[in-house]
Amino acid sequence: MTEIHDDPCAHCEEMMQPYLDHILSDEEMREAEMHLDECDWCRRRYRFEESLRRYVRQAANQPMPAELKLKLAALRIPLE
């Protein structure tokens, strides 16, 4: 069941999220990589998406306040 795509870049764009989530089938993966090998325009956008994911993860990481850590430890049930 192969769909016909007149615009390979539009198709590649649809594959980007599933590609980065590693949920494409082997065949779809090969198809995406074949296009990426020859298309600098899409390759850049894939690379950007990868760095964006990494960057969002770093930026969103919130260290826990030290007092909260102590409060949690104090919730432990004492041994009799």
Partner 1 sequence: MGCGATVAEMAEASSDAARIAAEARDRVRFEEEALALADQVYSVARHLAGAREEAEDLVQETYARAFRSWRSFQPGTNLRAWLLRILTNLNIDRGRRQQRAPQMQPLEANDYFLYDKLAHDDGGATDEDRVVERLSQDDIVSALSAVPHDFRDVIVLVDLGDFSYQDAAQILDIPIGTVMSRLHRGRRILKRELAESVAEDVR
Q: How many CA atoms lie within 13 A of 46 on its CB side?
A: 23
Instruction: Tell me if residue 24 falls in helix, strand or coil.
Output: coil
Among 2, 7, 51, 66, binds partner 1 (CB under 8 A): 51
Among 5, 14, 28, 33, binds partner 1 (CB under 8 A): 14
CB of 16 to partner 1, least distance (A): 6
Whole-angstrom CA distances from 79 to 68, 72, 76 are 22, 16, 9
Residues found near partner 1 in the complex (CB under 8 A): 10, 13-14, 16-17, 44-45, 47-53, 55-57, 59-65, 68-69, 71-73, 75-77, 79
